[in-house]
Structure 1
Amino acid sequence: MKMKLLGLLVLVLGSTISANGAVSEVSWREISKINREGPYVGIVVPNAFELNPLLRSPSFVPHNKFPYFDFAGKHFRIGVLEKKRVIVVMTGLSMLNAGISTQLLLTLFDIEGVVHYGIAGNANPKLQIGDVTIPQYWAHTGLWNWQRFGDGPKDALALEASGDYSRRFGYLKFADYNNNTKHSKSATNLLNNVWFQAEEIFPVNGTAEVRQHAFWVSVDKLTLRLQRAQMLN
C-alpha cells in the first residue's frame, strides 16, 4: 500500500501597518484655517472631572465652523471663553501626558499663553474648599535624589560633584514620620532621606544640549496681573 504524502502549502498573509508621525496635508490645511483666527490662549486640563464644568459653562462658546480638531489621540476644542479665543485640551493624568499635550498645543496652534487649571490639595488652613488660588511661583517636586542609609545632610549625594544633583532645596527625612516617633525625636528608618532636585531644562533660546536647572518657575507677570484683576471683579 502506497502512502502519498501531500504537501500542504500554507500562505501566510501579513498585514502591514504604516506609521507616519508627520502631520498630513489635509490636517495642515485645517490647522491653518484655525490659526488664521488666532492667537489663542491654550487651556490645559488634566481630566474630564475638571473639564466638564468648563464645557457646560455658558461662558464657553464653541467655534461655529471648527469646534474641535483631533490629532494624536488629543481632542482640541476651539472656542471663545469670556470674549477670549481659546483652545482647550484634556491631557490625562501624569507629567508625561501633560508635557506631550502642551507641546502639541504649542507646536500646532498659534498660542500666546497657556493656563493649566484643576483641583489641588492644600496645606494652608486659611484656604477652604472652593477657593481659587493663583500661584506666583510653582515647582515640580517629583524629582528626588535618594540618599543612602547612614548618610546625613552634611554628606555629599551621589553624582553631586558632577553637577547632576545638589542639596540646595532641602530634603525629606522619612524617620520623622515613623508611627513610633515620640517627643519629636525620630527613630531610624532605612529609607533615610530624599533631596528635592531642580528640573533639567533646555530653553528654546539656549544652546542645543546645554542644560539649565530650574526649581521655582515664576508665572508670567502679565498673566498673573490679569488673573488677579479678574478675581477681584
Structure 2
Amino acid sequence: MASEQAAKCLVIILLSITLLVISVSATPSNKRKSLNTIKEVNRKGPYIGLITVFPPEEDAFFTTGAFEINPHHPFVDLSGRRFRIGKVHGRKVIYVRCGVGMVNAAAATQQMLDLFDIRGIVHFGIAGNANNSMSIGDVTIPKQFAHTGIWDWLKPNGILPSDDVAHLDIGSYNVPKGGVNLLGRIGYSYEQFFSETGKPDAAQPLVWAKISQHWLRLAAKLEGMELQQCVNSSNCLPQKPKLVVGLRGSTSNIFVDNAAYRDFLFQTFHVSSVDMESAAVAMTTLSNGFPVIVIRGLSDLAGGQAGQNSIRIFGPLAALNAAKVVVQFIRTLSDDPSQH
C-alpha cells in the first residue's frame, strides 16, 4: 500500500516537472530576456509613453536631437516592435513606432501600458487637413476624437438604426444628379468604450474620446511657438505654420484623399484632422485610466487640393513640426510640478 502511494507521489512530481518545463519552453528565450529587461527598466520609472506610426514620423522625431538613449537599456523588442528607452529634456520616456492603422495603434498602446511603468501617452504623427481655416504644415492638438469607421452600410432604401450618430446618402453625390446609387446609405455608429472605472463587460456608448484636460491646458501654452516653413530652399509653404489646440479630430482605417468625403466629415462631425490611429490610441489609454494627448502635423488637404496629394512633398515637414511640438510639450511637463 505504501509503495503504491509512493508511486503515485512520484508520478505527480514527474508530471509537475514536465508541466513546468513545458511552461518555460513555451516562452521563447528572447521574450523571457525582454521581460527581464522590462523589470530592470521599470525600477527606474515612471515614463512618458511616446507613440508614432511610420518611419518618416520616427525620422522627424530623431532629427530633433532631443531623444537621449538610455546607455544601459537602450531598447526592448516585443512582438516585432522596438520600445526605445531614454530621456527628452530630462524626462524619462519610452518610445515606440506602432505601425499604420487602428489595430496596430491599439495593440502597441495596450502593450506599453501593460508592461511598462507609464505615467501617460503622447501620440504624434501627421494627418490630413479637413478644415479650410487650417493649412498644410500646421500642427493640431485636438480636444477630442471620433472613430468614424464604424458603419452600418445599407441598401439604397434601407432604414438606418435609430441610434446612429450620423448618416451619408451616397446617391446625394451622383453626377449628374438623379437616379439610384446602388452603394446605398451609410450610418455612423458609436464606439463601445470599456473602462477600468466601469463594470466588467458593461461598455458605454461613445462618440467622442476626450483628451485629458490638464495636458490640453499645458499644451495650450505652446500656441505661438515657431514651426518650420520650408522643406528645403525650393519647397516652402506660403505662410508660417501655426499650432492650434482644441479642435476635433477623426480616425478610421481610411486614407482620405477625396474632396466630397472630406467636406462631409467636416460638415457632419466638425473635425479638422483625419488620420488612421489617434482615436485608437486615445481610447485605449483612457480605457486604462491614463492621461493622453495627440499631436498631429497637417501634411495634406485630404483630397481638397487640386492635383496630386501633397503628402510626399510636405509630409516630412508636417512630421517635423509635430515632433517639435512633442519635444516642447515634454519640456512643459517637466516644468509642471503636478507632473512629478
> TM-score, normalised to structure 1's length?
0.79
Q: For 1:81 and 1:102, locate their aligned partners in 2 and report how far apart those are by CA, in whole Å.
A: 20
Counterpart check, 1:108 vs 2:115: yes
Q: Percent same amino acid at aligned positions? A: 35
Q: For 2:223 and 2:36, locate their aligned partners in 1 and report how far apart those are by CA, in whole Å.
A: 38
Q: For 1:64 and 1:56, locate their aligned partners in 2 and report how far apart those are by CA, in whole Å.
A: 19
Give the deviation of 1:82 after TM superposition.
Answer: 2.9
Q: Highest Rg: 1 or 2?
A: 1
User: What amino acid maps onto 2:198 in structure 1?
Assistant: G
Q: For 1:23 and 1:81, locate their aligned partners in 2 and report how far apart those are by CA, in whole Å.
A: 28
Give the deviation of 1:74 after TM superposition.
Answer: 1.0
Q: For 1:23 and 1:228, locate their aligned partners in 2 and report how far apart those are by CA, in whole Å.
A: 43
Which of 163, 171, 174 is the equivalent residue of 1:175? 171
Give the deviation of 1:93 after TM superposition.
Answer: 0.8
Q: For 1:21 and 1:208, locate their aligned partners in 2 and report how far apart those are by CA, in whole Å.
A: 32
Contact 2:31 2:78 in 1 (8 A): no
Higher deviation after alignment, 186-195 or 116-125: 186-195
- Structure 1: which 4+ aligned runs deviate by more than 4 Å? 21-25
- In structure 2, do the counterparts of structure 1 residues 34 and 101 end up closer, same or farther at CA, with 3 Å as the change threshold? same
Contact 2:34 2:77 in 1 (8 A): no
Q: For 2:224 and 2:70, locate their aligned partners in 1 and report how far apart those are by CA, in whole Å.
A: 29
Question: Which residue number in structure 1 is paired with residue 194 of structure 2?
Answer: 202
Give the deviation of 1:176 after TM superposition.
Answer: 1.8
Question: Which residue number in structure 2 is paired with residue 163 of structure 1?
Answer: none
Contact 1:176 1:187 in 2 (8 A): no
Any idea what the Cα deviations from partners look like across 1:57-89, whole Å, max 9, x if unmatched?
A: 221111121111111111001111233221111
Unaligned runs of 5+ in 2: 1-24, 226-340
Unaligned runs of 5+ in 1: 1-17, 161-165
Question: Which residue number in structure 2 is paired with residue 219 of structure 1?
Answer: 211
> TM-score, normalised to structure 2's length?
0.55
Give the deviation of 1:56 after TM superposition.
Answer: 2.2
Residue 121 of structure 1 aligns to a residue whose secondary structure is strand
Counterpart check, 1:193 vs 2:185: yes
Q: For 2:89 and 2:134, locate their aligned partners in 1 and report how far apart those are by CA, in whole Å.
A: 26
Question: Which residue number in structure 2 is paired with residue 13 of structure 1?
Answer: none
Give the deviation of 1:188 after TM superposition.
Answer: 2.2
Counterpart check, 1:33 vs 2:40: yes
Q: Which has the higher helix share?
A: 2
Residue 119 of structure 1 aligns to a residue whose secondary structure is strand
Contact 2:129 2:136 in 1 (8 A): no
Give the deviation of 1:156 after TM superposition.
Answer: 4.7
Any idea what the Cα deviations from partners look like across 1:160-201, whole Å, max 9, x if unmatched?
A: 6xxxxx22x1111111222323xxxx5421112111111112
Which of 89, 93, 98 is the equivalent residue of 1:91? 98
Residue 125 of structure 2 aligns to a residue whose secondary structure is coil
Aligned pairs (5 A) from 1:49-60: 49-60=56-67
Give the deviation of 1:91 after TM superposition.
Answer: 0.9
Q: For 1:156 and 1:130, locate their aligned partners in 2 and report how far apart those are by CA, in whole Å.
A: 38
Q: For 2:102 and 2:47, locate their aligned partners in 1 and report how far apart those are by CA, in whole Å.
A: 23
- In structure 2, do the counterparts of structure 1 residues 115 and 95 end up closer, same or farther at CA, with 3 Å as the change threshold? same
User: What amino acid maps onto 2:125 in structure 1?
Assistant: G
Give the deviation of 1:232 after TM superposition.
Answer: 4.1
Q: For 1:223 and 1:28, locate their aligned partners in 2 and report how far apart those are by CA, in whole Å.
A: 30
Q: For 2:31 and 2:54, locate their aligned partners in 1 and report how far apart those are by CA, in whole Å.
A: 28
Question: Which residue number in structure 2 is paired with residue 143 of structure 1?
Answer: 150
Tell me the number of residue pairs that the alignment of Structure 1 and Structure 2 aligns.
201
- Root-mean-square deviation (CA, aligned residues, Å) is 2.1
Any idea what the Cα deviations from partners look like across 1:26-48, whole Å, max 9, x if unmatched?
A: 43331122112221111111101
Higher deviation after alignment, 67-76 or 55-64: 55-64
Q: Compare relative contact order (CA 8 Å, sep 6+) and give the higher one, 1 or 2.
A: 2
Counterpart check, 1:122 vs 2:118: no
Residue 172 of structure 2 aligns to a residue whose secondary structure is helix
